[in-house]
Structure 1
Amino acid sequence: MIFSSTLNRYLAKNFFLNMLLMLLVLFSIIYLFDTVELLRRAGKKDGIPLSLVLRMGLLKLPEVGQILFPFAILFSALFTFWQLTKRHELVVVRAAGLSVWQFLMPVMMVSLLIGLFNITIINPVGALLLGKFESLENEYLSNKKSYVTLLKEGLWLRQLQGEDADNSGQIILHADYINLTEWELQDVMVLFFTQNNTFVRRIDAEKARLDQGMWTFEQAISNEAGQRQPKIYPLIALPTELTIKELEESFASPETLSFWALPGFIKTMASTGFDTTAMRIHYQSLLAQPLLFMAMILLAATVSLRPPRFRGTVTLIFMGVIIGFLVFFMSSFLQALGASHQIPVFLAAWSPALITFLMGVTVILNLEDG
């Protein structure tokens, strides 16, 4: 019992330290490449300091780290088992009567805890920092503005009005519900403000539609500042430079929303009329991460526990790369199928982790029996 407890701590500590080292190496490489790319983009703009570029690279790191976590788990486990084999420690463990599951369990428990820590702590922090990164990117590198905000009260949209952006007022549009098929808004309110934020007009309409650079409001009631009686129009047309594509792209990406905020945002999207499939897949994929991390341990074990002639360093690295690529490809492919409504959300999000886990268990059982 004492031997088993000591062994568990030893294996867990070795794996955890190797994983930290692997993450440090991967983070350094990714940060270098991201910073070079940001410097290239910043070179096309005037007045962007180097300190801002370096800060943007750091803001993006936690989110990139979540993508790298499965690979870090896989290669850390491969390296840990390779060390144990090279020092003949696995031989001693097996000679002591411990099964493969007994010395895999502490490593799998560490990966499970890392997965839980990732989705509950690292993900919210990464989402917050990524949101700041995208704000800086839009402001300094791409000059894009966020036009749309989605709240419990419905859809809020802002656009400038006037001949030029430097001498214009703005329009605030609110809708309770939206039909994405035709981009038709329902129960619409539009507020008009001058450049000095002085209210000048309000329009209430049953429906509004965006089509070919024009907002059209049906059965509209117009109230202008200083007028006592509202005016009723069967149709009001309002020119806009916004396009449907720009509006769709201005929504927050799933990665900028924390694990804790996703359920509420999904509910808000559904009540407003938006398709929540991509958001639900992202949320379920986060829930599946602890299982995926444990599956990576099993896959690493299937490679490391093979006969000695298959355990060369180059072979381990090559097989690790192949396994990582296959898991990544399978995850991306199934999530794409789910986003296009070809398969259910649960299958799209959980299948990669479940398939990988079951494959690892099957192979290890065969090796153990052999």
Structure 2
Amino acid sequence: MKVTMTLSRYMARTYVMNMLFLLFALLGVIYLFDTVELVRRASKSDSVPLGLVLQMGLLKLPEVGQILFPFAVLFSAMLTFWQFNRHSELVVLRSSGFSVWQFLMPVVAVALCVGFLQVGVINPVGSLLVEKYERLEKEYLDKQDSQIALFKEGLWLRQSTDGHILEDDDDVQKGYVILHARKVKPPHWGLSQVSVFYFGQNDVFRMRADAKSASLEPGRWVFEDVAIHRSGSVKISKPEMVLPTTLTIEDIEESFSSAETVPFWALPAHIETLEQTGFDASRLRVYFHSLLSQPLFFVAMVLLAASVSIRPPRMGGGLMLFAVGVFIGFVVFFVSSYLQALGSSNQIPPILAAWSPAIVCFLYGVSAMIHLEDG
């Protein structure tokens, strides 16, 4: 027997409403706690208005929302099937000759569409909002003197400087420098083909230094084989030049680890740029493939929810169902995070790390539904 369009719309609408309810409820709780934390951090400064804090809390929500999406898909599917079971609607459907797969299809179709929507629309928009949040955070809450950017032309870095550039020079003080390197050699951060541009106060250009190589040591950059150019003076060659810095290797690596600020459609080009410059893009590859696997992963969550929800209702079934859902969500989240960590550290291939949770959950859900249908 074929499922009618009216029945499909009813089941899909019920599932969508439950998903939106759970998602907004979870986001509301997260927003409350995040805003309280932002207010605490903003209280240390008199220049941060409350309206900006509330706006920053909203800008941060998409990042958390994308983490919560699989849980919303899972729990809303469990709630939907539990409601159908409680009202004996599934019993009526089964007795009317409908198979499990037939009345699962509307919910599966919604989960699949939500997965594609999350990858193609929600993630790019969320990335822009998270990027704006991080920019406001650095400007108002975590004021930093260093800025780092990566392009196809290489690494660009800006930092403030208060000391003398040269030991016998009193001209340049309290300005900033812009460092550019064509190539980067992790993990010890050896730079090659380096140019350093020195600016004084009011953005006045002072001098340029070209170095064959540079390395980041604790508290300083060390440049080797340096040629210093200043307007109106002869080029100065030095075997070594030192630039004090507060940057560490961890600071630079973390600046490129925020994959959440890169939209899905821009990830392939960003990964290529990282690898051309010499960076390890394994974490971004894992993130990219995990986004690609989201539609399948959401479908798998529906199948897992159905495997524990489409059963005859029993006394205390609601509480037991909630406990099982929490357990499944915890296991899936823990295993997914663990595999992604292995993929990011190159212990397993990034594709395997990203796709394994979705494929395993999907196959388990299918086998459970086949067993339930035969039983």
- RMSD over equivalenced CA pairs, Å: 1.8
Offset from partner CA, 1:317-370 (integer Å, 9 cap, x none): 111111111111111111111122211111111111111111111111111111
- Residue type matched to 1:323 in 2? I
Moved over 6 A (4+): none
Give 2:85's aligned residue: 85
Deviation for aligned residue 1:86: 1.4
C-alpha distance in 2, partners of 1:106/1:20? 16
| Corresponding residue to 2:198 among 186, 192, 212 | 192
Spell out, residue by residue over 1:181-222, the C-alpha distance to the aligned partner (whole angstroms, 9 max, x if none): 221101111111111222221111211111122222222222
- 1:305 alignment partner in structure 2: 310
Q: Which residue of 2 aligns with 1:247?
A: 252
Determine if contact 1:199/1:225 at 8 Å carries over to the other structure.
Answer: no
Aligned residue for 2:202, secondary structure, equals coil
Match of 1:202 in 2: 208
For 1:25 and 1:198, the matched residues in 2 are separated by 52
User: Residues 230-284 of structure 1, C-alpha deviation per residue, up to 9 Å, x if partnerless?
Assistant: 2332222223232222222333610111101111111111001111011111111
* 3-state SS of 2:311 partner: coil
Structure 2 match to 1:325: 330
- The amino acid that maps onto 1:248 is E
User: In the alignment, residue 242 of structure 1 is paired with which amino acid?
Assistant: L
Match of 2:220 among 209, 214, 218: 214
Residue 132 of structure 2 is matched in structure 1 by: 132
State how far apart, in whole Å, the 2-side matches of 1:119 and 1:272 are.
Answer: 27
Displacement of 1:40 = 2.2
Give the structure-2-normalised TM-score.
0.93
Q: Does residue 256 of structure 1 match 2:267?
A: no
* Structure 2 counterpart of 1:356: 361
Pair 1:287 & 2:276 matched = no
Is 1:81–1:304's contact at 8 Å kept on the other side of the alignment?
A: yes
Q: Is the 8 A contact 1:146 1:251 kept in 2?
A: no
How far apart are 1:115 and its partner, in Å? 0.6
Is residue 347 of structure 1 aligned with residue 325 of structure 2? no
Q: Larger deviation: 310-319 or 87-96? A: 310-319
| 8 Å Cα contact 2:85/2:312 also seen in 1 | no
User: What is the letter of the counterpart of residue 14 of structure 2?
Assistant: N
SS in 1 for 2:52: helix
Cα distance in structure 2, aligned partners of 1:76 and 1:241: 48
Partners in 2 of 1:196 and 1:42 — Cα distance? 29
Matched with 2:102 is 102
Extract unaligned runs of 5+ from structure 1: none
Alpha-carbon distance in 1 for matches of 2:316, 2:75: 14
Quote the residue 1:367 is aligned against.
Answer: 372
* d(CA) in 1 for partners of 2:188, 2:23: 46
Stretch deviating more after TM superposition (132-141 or 44-53): 44-53
How many angstroms apart in 1 are the aligned matches of 2:11 and 2:266?
Answer: 36
User: How many angstroms does 1:49 deviate by?
Assistant: 1.9
The 3-state SS of whatever aligns with 2:243 is strand
Mapped partners of 1:324, 1:310: distance in 2:
23
- Secondary structure of 1:261's aligned partner: helix
TM-score, normalised relative to structure 1: 0.94
User: 2:41 matched to 1:41?
Assistant: yes
User: Do structure 1's residue 278 and structure 2's residue 276 form an aligned pair?
Assistant: no
Name the structure 2 match of 1:148. 148
Contact 2:214 2:224 in 1 (8 A): yes
Q: Is the deviation greater in 324-333 or in 90-99?
A: 90-99
Identical columns (%):
55
In 1: Cα distance, 2:145 partner to 2:281 partner? 23
Query: How far does the alpha carbon of each residue in 1:35-68 deviate from its partner, in whole angstroms, 9 at most, with x for none?
Result: 1222222233333222111111111111211111
In the alignment, the residues of structure 1 paired with residue 150 and residue 268 of structure 2 have an alpha-carbon distance, to the nearest angstrom, of 14
Query: Which residues in structure 2 correspond to 1:47-58 (within 5 Å)?
Result: 47-58=47-58
Check whether the contact 2:130–2:260 (CA below 8 A) recurs between aligned residues: yes
User: What is the aligned length?
Assistant: 367
Distance 1:199 1:47 in 2: 31
Alignment match, 1:111: 111
Secondary structure, counterpart of 1:309 in structure 2: coil
Cα displacement (A) at 1:146: 4.6
CA distance in structure 1 between the partners assigned to 2:59 and 2:332 by the alignment: 27
Give the Cα–Cα distance (whole angstroms) in 2 for the partners of residues 78 and 134 of structure 1: 35
Query: Is this contact kept in 2: 1:338–1:348, CA < 8 A?
Result: yes
Q: Which deviates more from structure 2 when the two are superposed, residues 207-216 or residues 117-126?
A: 207-216
Unmatched runs of 5 consecutive residues or more in structure 2:
165-172
Cα deviation, residue 3, structure 1:
4.8
Q: Provide the residue aligned with 2:167 in structure 1.
A: none
The amino acid of 1:247's aligned partner reads I
Answer with 303-312 or 78-87: which moved more. 303-312
8 Å CA contact retained: 1:338, 1:344: yes
**Counterparts of 1:202 and 1:83, CA distance in 2:** 70
* Separation in 1, partners of 2:246, 2:232: 29
Deviates more, 1:137-146 or 1:78-87: 137-146
Residue among 260, 263, 270 paired with 1:265: 270
- Contact 1:146–1:250, Cα closer than 8 Å, also in 2: no
Q: Residue type of the partner of 1:134?
A: E
Corresponding position: 1:62 with 2:62: yes
TM-aligned CA deviation for residue 28 of structure 1: 1.2
Change in CA separation of 1:69 and 1:310 when aligned onto 2, cut-off 3 Å: farther
Please tell me whether the aligned partners of residues 147 and 247 of structure 1 are also in contact (alpha carbons under 8 angstroms).
no
Equivalent AA in structure 2 for residue 38 of structure 1: L
Q: Please state how far the C-alpha of 1:310 moved relative to its aligned partner.
A: 7.6
